[in-house]
Amino acid sequence: MRLVIGSDHGGVALKSRIMHFLEQTRPDITLINIGTDTDASVDYPDFARKGVSVILEGKADAGILICGTGLGISMMANRFKGIRAAVVHDVFTAEMSKAHNNANILCLGGRTTDPELASTLVRTWLETKFEGGRHQSRIDKLDQD
Ligand code: RB5
């Protein structure tokens, strides 16, 4: 699996932590880091756009995007057709974001997500399977004009 990962300055520390976690536990995942990689102030819409582009160009299967709260970066990501970005706060929302919404981008908050919990949220989202069925027809409606 190819996973694009990106953040603004508010999410850069959590991004490093998640990358380390995935490198240690998921050798089957190829990580594509699109930055930012310092705590210098940047604009989250730019990194959302960059991350989304990698998915929409078919160079990644899914992504993780992080800003201070997960809110701004998810708002931007969700402006693109085919993208389902979910901000999750606990194991239940991480699970549902995949099982029911088939989220292809997981969003977290560098200032709001407990760093200890973050790896559990990422693992839950990665390992949960989309249930399909009635949920497929619902997510199809997300992309209707
Ligand atoms: C940047 O200070 C902050 O506003 C951003 O990381 C994010 O939380 C926006 O939603």
**Prediction pTM value:** 0.98
Query: What tens digit of pLDDT does each residue of 94-106 get?
Result: 999 999 999 999 9
From atom 6 of ligand 1, which residue's Cα is the shortest distance away?
68
Question: Could you tell me if 50 and 5 are in contact, meaning their C-beta atoms sit under 8 angstroms apart?
Answer: no
At the second CATH level, the architecture of 2-142 is: 3-Layer(aba) Sandwich (3.40)
Question: Quick one: tokens of 50?
Answer: 């960059």
Query: What tens digit of pLDDT does each residue of 67-93 get?
Result: 999 999 999 999 999 999 999 999 999
C-alpha of residue 132 to centroid of ligand 1, in Å: 33
Please identify every stretch of the chain with a pLDDT value under 50, giving residue numbers as ranges: none
Distance (Å, rounded) from C-alpha 33 to C-alpha 130?
25
Question: Could you tell me if 63 and 6 are in contact, meaning their C-beta atoms sit under 8 angstroms apart?
Answer: yes
User: Where are the chain's structural domains?
Assistant: 2-142
Question: Could you tell me if 11 and 25 are in contact, meaning their C-beta atoms sit under 8 angstroms apart?
Answer: no
Question: Could you tell me if 108 and 46 are in contact, meaning their C-beta atoms sit under 8 angstroms apart?
Answer: no
- Is 107 considered catalytic here? no
